Structure 1
Amino acid sequence: MRNNRMLDVILVALLVGLFGLGVAYAYACERL
């Protein structure tokens, strides 16, 4: 098991951020 939890947290945060951006982008496209 890796000892690098900070990198895992950063990767998860990036994935969640990208997912949120995609949802917000799709929502904005539907609204326009």
Structure 2
Amino acid sequence: FTHAFILTFMVVFLLLLLTLLSFHAILTIDSQ
């Protein structure tokens, strides 16, 4: 269970990071 929990946490963290990066990119494009 521990390894599955860590993998799930890593996947969620990566998805959140990608969402923040894409959101930041959209804001940057909109500002220009």
TM-score (norm 1): 0.85
Aligned partners of 2:29, 2:21: CA distance in 1, in Å? 12
User: In the alignment, what sits opposite 1:19?
Assistant: 19
More helix as a share of residues? 2
- Provide the aligned C-alpha RMSD in A: 0.5
- 1:7 positional shift: 0.3
Sequence identity (%): 20
Structure 1 residue runs without a partner (length 5+) = none
Structure 1 moving runs of 4+ over 3 Å:
none
Q: Count residues in correspondence.
A: 30
